[in-house]
């Protein structure tokens, strides 16, 4: 499968959050085998070396792959960020990654955005990453990042978006500013599978509720990075790329919004004030 993109970011990739050791190796191996070519990881996931091992043994040419990693808050200092990115690159077994994100804004942390964003830009200048971006940034954080980075593009803001947390204010702002969004936890950790509305839409399209949730995000031009430890689900999820939902389907899913009560990823030490 070639890498279909929204701008410079793949539409569809494999997420590896919470996958470790042999589990992550098996997931990545199966994903590559069924056609995935974009892999999303992070320093904080503790699985970069295992992913690198699978990528090396896969025999897939580097130019056919898109690898994303994220800098964890412990490495935000100007003197440590680039070194940590170099370490990630080595663990992944590549000369550079395709995209590196600041994982969390950590607004109350010891390192301020001006320092860690400029350090991330240093990693770009040194060729350790081909693009940079952010993750879990709110509207104010995106404005600040734009001001700090100047002409350096923000490739994406990776945020939690699923049918129960649709992040509409952030999405509207990002769309108006031309900032791409990547949806993580698009399946709401499996909750979508038991949703009656999504089940009904899936039946009408001879699809799965997971495919419907992913197609809903793709229809809004969000990239998606679902994870799975089951090969059949990895393969099935790819069906979202060709599933076309109707306007009525989209409206029904819009009605599933639950707001902040549905947020799943919310670490107190690193989160911003959500929009």
Domain contains 199 = no
Predicted confidence (pLDDT) per residue in 225-253, tens digit: 999 999 999 999 999 999 999 999 999 99
Q: Looking at the 3D structure of the chain, how many domains does it have?
A: 1
Catalytic one among 45, 76, 116, 184? Answer: 45
Domain contains 242 = no
Mean pLDDT of 155-176: 98
User: Does pTM top 0.85 for this prediction?
Assistant: yes
Domain that holds residue 160: 5-188+221-227
Domain contains 275 = no
Predicted confidence (pLDDT) per residue in 33-75, tens digit: 999 999 999 999 999 999 999 999 999 999 999 999 999 999 9
Half-sphere exposure for 89 (CA within 13 Å, toward CB): 20
45 is catalytic: yes
1 has pLDDT over 70 = no
Write the CATH number for 153: 3.20.20.100
122 has pLDDT over 80 = yes
């Amino acid at each position: 499968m070639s890498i279909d993109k929204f701008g410079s970011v793949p539409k569809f990739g494999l997420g590896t959050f919470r996958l470790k050791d042999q589990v992550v190796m098996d997931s990545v191996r199966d994903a590559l085998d069924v056609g995935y070519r974009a892999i999303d990881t992070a320093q904080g996931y503790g699985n970069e070396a295992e992913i690198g091992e699978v990528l090396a043994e896969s025999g897939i040419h580097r130019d056919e792959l898109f690898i994303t990693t994220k800098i964890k808050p412990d490495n935000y200092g100007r003197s440590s960020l680039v070194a940590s990115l170099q370490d990630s690159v080595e663990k992944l077994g590549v000369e550079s990654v395709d995209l590196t994100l600041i994982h969390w804004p950590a607004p109350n942390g010891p390192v301020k955005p001006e320092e860690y964003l400029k350090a991330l830009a240093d990693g770009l200048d040194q060729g350790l990453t081909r693009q940079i971006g952010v993750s879990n940034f709110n509207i104010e954080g995106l404005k600040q990042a734009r001001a700090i980075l100047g002409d350096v593009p923000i490739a994406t803001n990776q945020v939690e978006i699923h049918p129960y947390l649709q992040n509409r204010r952030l999405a509207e702002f990002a769309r108006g500013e031309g900032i791409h969004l990547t949806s993580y936890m698009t399946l709401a950790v499996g909750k979508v599978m038991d949703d009656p509305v999504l089940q009904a839409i899936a039946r009408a399209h001879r699809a799965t509720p997971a495919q419907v949730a992913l197609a809903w995000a793709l229809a809004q031009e969000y990239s998606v990075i679902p994870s799975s430890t089951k090969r059949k689900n990895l393969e099935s999820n790819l069906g979202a790329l060709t599933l076309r939902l109707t306007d009525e389907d989209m409206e029904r899913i819009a009605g599933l919004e639950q707001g902040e009560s549905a947020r799943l990823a919310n670490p107190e030490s690193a989160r911003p004030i959500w929009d």
